[in-house]
Structure 1
Amino acid sequence: MLDVRRMQVLHAVVAESSITAAARRLGYTPSAISQQIATLEREAGLPLLERTARGVRPTEAGRVLTAYAADIGARVDAAVTAMADLCAGRSGRVAVRYFASVGAALVAPAVAALHRDHPGIRVDLRLTDPDDPLPEVREGRADLALIIRTGASPTIDGVRLIYLRPDSYRVVLPEGHPLAAHTDLELADLAEEPWIGSAWPGPCMDAIFAVCDTAGFTPRFAVQAEDYVTAQAFVAAGLGISLIPGMGLGDHPQPGVVVRDLRNPEAVRGVYAAVRTSAEPHHPALTAMLNALGAVASPLVTRRRPAAPAARPSTPAPRQPGSPPTARRRTPRPTE
C-alpha cells in the first residue's frame, strides 16, 4: 500500500530537485526526508530517485508516482476548499418540502433571496402533503418541511418546529351577498350559511372547526372542494361561503367573490418550519435557508390588508399577529 503522505514528500523532492531543499520546505531534516523516500521505494518496489551532479531527479517510476501525487494534492486542496465553503454557507444542498399555498407567498421569495446571497447553495424543492411531511424530515430524506399547525410543541419525536408566521383565514362571499356590505364579519354571522370546504381534513381544517366550536356552532358544508381555487369557484357560483387562509387567497381572489376579514373570534393557522433536532448547527446551508424564510415571513406578518368598504362600527380592534396560534386541535367532522 502506497502512503499518500510519502507521495507528497516525493512530489516536493522532485519539484525542488533536492532533498535538502525539500526538507527545508516541508520543515523536516534531510535524513527524515531520505528515510521517507526509502520507505516509499520499498512500498513501490522500484527506485524513485537517482542522484545527479546537481541533486536528484525522478526515475520513470518516480515520474509516474509524482504525477499521481500532484493529482492527489490538487484533490486534497479542492476538498479543503469545499469544506471551507460548506462551513461558511457558500455551498451545499438543502432539501425542502412545501405545500401549495405557502409556495408563492413564502418559498419562492425565500429561495430567490437564498440564490442571491448564497449562489452556491442548491435547493431541492418538492411539493408534499401539508398534513404529515415529518417522516421525511425525521428519516433524513428532507432537511426542512413547511407544515401547518393550529398549536404545536417545540419538538415532535426528534423534529424541531420553528414558528414562521400566522396565516389568518378570511371570509369569501359571493358578489352581492348581503354580508358583503361589511368590512369584516363576526363568526356568528356565518353560522346559518352553507359552507364550501376548502381543504382536506387535517391541520388546515382544524383551525376552522376549532374556531367554530368556540363560537358555538358546527359549519354546515354544502360542497367539499378540497382546494382553494375550486372553493372560490363554488362560492362565485353562489353555492355557499368559505373560510380561506390569506396565503391560499393571494393578492388577487377569483372574479365573482368578495373577501372580508373575520373577527370575534379570528381563525388562524400557524406556519412552521420542521427540521431535525440534530441538523443544526452542522448544516450551514439549512441555516441559510431558515434565515431566508424568516426574513420573508417577518414582513408578511405585519403587511396591511387591502381596505374594504362599509366598516361595522361595533367591530373590535384586530388582534396583532406575531405569536403562535393557540386554538385547540379537533378531529375533523364529516361534511353534510
Structure 2
Amino acid sequence: MLDVHRLIVLRSVVEAGSIQAAAAHLGYTPSAISQHLAALQRETGTTLMERIGRGIRPTEAGRLLATYAGRIQSQISEAETALADLRAGKTQRLVVHYFATAGAVLIPPIMADFGRRFPDVRVELRLGKGLGKEGADAEIVVLPGTAGVPAGFRAIHLLDDPYVVVLPPDHPLAGEEEVELARLGGEPWIDNEWPSTLCREIVLDACGAAGFSPHFAVEAHDYSSAVAFVAAGLGVTVLPRLALGAVPARDLTCRPVIRPVPHREIYVVVREYAADHPALAAFIALLQTTANERCASITTAP
C-alpha cells in the first residue's frame, strides 16, 4: 500500500519544481524530501523523478501519482471540513449540479419531501457541470453509457429519454401516431441544441441511420425558442420527451419518433465514497421515483 504522506511529498516536489522549494514549503530539510521520494520509488518499483541538467522533473509515473495525491488531499480536506462541521453542529450541505431539463422537471417535485425527511440538510442546486469539481456531491447528466465515468465516481441510471417531433397541428404528419424519422428528411428543421452537445449528436446519428442529414432552417439553442419557431410555422423540431415537462408545446402536436428511436441516457453521478450517505442516497432514490413517474406520465398526445 502506498504511503499517503510520501505521495503528498511527491506532489509538492512536482508542483514546486525542485526538492529545495518543496522542502521550504513543507518545512522539511532537502535530505528528508529526498529520502521520502526514494522510499516511494522503492514502494512503486518505478522511477518517479529524473534528473535534467542540474534540476529534476517528474516522469510520467511521477505526474500520475502526483495527480492522484492531489485528489487524496482534496478528499482529506473535505473529510476534515465535514467532521469539523459535524462537531460544531453546523447544518449539513448537499451540492447537486444539473442540466436545465432535469432541473425543471426532476428536482422541484422532490424538494418538499426531501426537506421533511432531512430538515437539517441544506441542498444547493447549481446549473452546469459539476462532475469532478471539489464540493459537488452529485450531478445529473446525459452520458453515452457508464464507460467514461472516472474512477472514484458512480453513475446511477435514472431514465432513458426518447425523442419526439414537435409539429404544427395542421402538418400532414400530425395525424400519425408515430413518425418514422426518415419522413422528416425533407422538412425544414429547427435546431434546439448547441452544436457540441451529446444530445444533438444523438439526433444527428439517428438521422444518419435513417439515411439523411437534416436541413436546419432555423438555429435555436434552447427548447423554448425552438418550439416557438415551430408554432410560427418555420419548421419542425425534435427534442427529448422529458423536455415537454419544462417547455409545454401548447397548440402543437408531439409524436414519438421511430425507426430508429433516438434516446438519451440520463444518470446521476456521485462520488463513490459518498454514495451511501443517508441524505444523498435518499435524494437519489427520490430522483429515481420522480424520473419513473415523469417517464410514465408525459404524454405525446396533441
- TM normalised by structure 1 equals 0.59
Deviations 1:198-246 (A, max 9, x none): 1112111121012112112111111110100000111111111110112
CA separation in 2, counterparts of 1:117 and 1:267?
37
In structure 1, the residue matched to 2:150 is 156
Counterpart residue type for residue 248 of structure 2:
P
CA separation in 1, counterparts of 2:139 and 2:121?
17
Question: Does the 8 Å CA contact 2:254/2:300 hold for their aligned counterparts?
Answer: no
- Structure 1 vs Structure 2 CA RMSD: 2.6
Candidates 182, 185, 188, aligned match of 1:191: 185
Deviations 1:106-126 (A, max 9, x none): 011122221122222210011
In structure 2, the residue matched to 1:97 is 97
In structure 2, the residue matched to 1:206 is 201
1:1-336 equivalence runs, <5 A: 92-128=92-128, 133=129, 136-153=130-147, 155-201=149-195, 202-250=197-245, 253-281=248-276, 283-303=277-297, 305-307=299-301
Deviations 1:34-83 (A, max 9, x none): xxxxxxxxxxxxxxxxxxxxxxxxxxxxxxxxxxxxxxxxxxxxx99x57
- Give the greater-gyration-radius structure (CA): 1
Counterpart residue type for residue 211 of structure 2:
G
Gaps of 5+ in 2: 1-82
Question: Does the 8 Å CA contact 1:197/1:226 hold for their aligned counterparts?
Answer: yes
- More moved, 256-265 vs 237-246: 256-265
CA separation in 2, counterparts of 1:141 and 1:251?
28
Gaps of 5+ in 1: 1-78, 309-336
CA separation in 2, counterparts of 1:251 and 1:227?
11
**What is the CA-CA distance between 1:303 and the residue it aligns to?**
3.2
Cα distance, 1:306–1:180 mapped onto 2, change above 3 Å: closer
Question: Does the 8 Å CA contact 1:153/1:161 hold for their aligned counterparts?
Answer: no
Question: Does the 8 Å CA contact 1:145/1:273 hold for their aligned counterparts?
Answer: yes
Deviations 1:275-323 (A, max 9, x none): 1223233x33222211221221222233362545xxxxxxxxxxxxxxx
CA separation in 2, counterparts of 1:249 and 1:285?
29
In structure 1, the residue matched to 2:78 is none
Deviations 1:115-140 (A, max 9, x none): 12222221001111xxxx2xx33132
Cα distance, 1:109–1:145 mapped onto 2, change above 3 Å: same
CA separation in 1, counterparts of 2:148 and 2:295?
20
Question: Does the 8 Å CA contact 2:105/2:246 hold for their aligned counterparts?
Answer: no
Counterpart residue type for residue 245 of structure 1:
P
Counterpart residue type for residue 94 of structure 1:
L
Q: Secondary structure at the match of 2:174?
A: helix
Question: Does the 8 Å CA contact 1:170/1:243 hold for their aligned counterparts?
Answer: yes
